[in-house]
Amino acid sequence: MKKEPVRKVPCCSVCGEPAVIRQRESGRHLCGAHLAADIEGRVAATIASERQVAPGDCIAVALSGGKDSTALLLLLHSLFSSRDDIRLVAVTVDEGIHGYRDETLRSAEELVKRLGVEHVTVSFPDLFGETLDTVLQGREEQACSICGILRKKALVTAAERAGATKLATGHNLDDEAQSVLMNLLRGDLMRLVRNSGADSGGRFIPRIKPLMYIHEKEIAAYLMVQGTWSDLPECPYAVHALRREVRSMLAQIEYAHPGTMLRLMENKKKVETAFAGKPAREPLGSCRQCGDPCSRDLCQFCQLKTTLWG
């Protein structure tokens, strides 16, 4: 019988130890230790270059219990836990999704206990009177749009209860590149140039995205190296999302042409810079019902609230 050739494990480009990942843009192989160091360094550089965190900040870390939010809390804890001038608070939203959210909530609880981080949890039933499952009955195809608006409101409420000055979310490079492409496909220039992390003058809590230049694959490898990887279920409503189609298409393009996602982000930055302070940006007013900042007469939440509950 012919023996199968023994595959040689690639070596880390830095130290020569067995590699756990290959970064396709650079062609580098990295071992677990150097992958962790690389990601921590890039996240720190993003926070610094984007001016995402300032002394005295209380950062509400959106923690769903999934891989991205878990990595986000681990990284921010590593970077800031020793600083007295920065406070971290994990904030979790329980939408009420049967057979899905219970597992991720348990994962979130275990993580905050291990790290010793304060934890604030809010739920859809407490805030809106119903679980997401109930809200979506007969509206399943609108699941991601409805959930996105309600979840955003819930996260802001949790961040306000925590006394936060910044709200950190676990959006990674894949997520951000997908959003750029989706906004281009929709022809939504305003959303493309919007910067939710800009100084709001106290009108709303700025949102920051420390993982915005880290690939989803790198995050998964980072969690495995840290021993915190959990094989959690996917949201059952994700099958209805346009993002799912865009994600698949963009992943194929990225595989064939490494660096595509980074180039999308770089071009988004150029568009943001070109339109900064120009009339193309919608002026920020206040919602006539709730008073929250928005660019129309009613914010998205109040529009949705009227549609769902009258």
Strand partners, 208: 168
End-to-end CA distance of the chain: 73
Q: What pLDDT does 295 receive?
A: 79
Q: What pLDDT does 6 receive?
A: 57
Strand partners, 123: 94
Taking the whole predicted model, whether its pTM rises above 0.85 is answered as: yes
pLDDT, tens digit, for every residue of 168-180? 999 999 999 999 9
Q: What pLDDT does 196 receive?
A: 64
In sequence order, which residues have a C-beta less than 8 Å from that of residue 92 and are 6 or more positions away?
62, 63, 64, 65, 105, 108, 119, 120, 121, 122, 158
| Residue corresponding to tokens 């915190």 | 228
User: Using 50, 70 and 90 to split pLDDT, how confident is the model at 282?
Assistant: low
Kindly list the domain boundaries of the chain, sorted by start residue. 36-231+238-276, 282-310
CATH entry 3.40.50.1820 includes domain 36-231+238-276: no
More confident residue, 258 or 241: 258
Closest to 60 in 3D by CA, of 239, 205, 262, 243: 205
pLDDT, tens digit, for every residue of 132-187? 999 999 998 899 899 999 999 999 999 999 999 999 999 999 999 999 998 888 87
Q: Give the C-alpha separation, 261 to 181, whole Å.
A: 10
Helices (H) and strands (E) counted in the chain, each on its own, are: 12, 9
What average pLDDT score do residues 190-219 get? Answer: 81
Q: What pLDDT does 280 receive?
A: 47
Closest to 211 in 3D by CA, of 243, 247, 183, 175: 175
User: Using 50, 70 and 90 to split pLDDT, how confident is the model at 5?
Assistant: low
Contact 171, 209 (CB under 8 A): yes
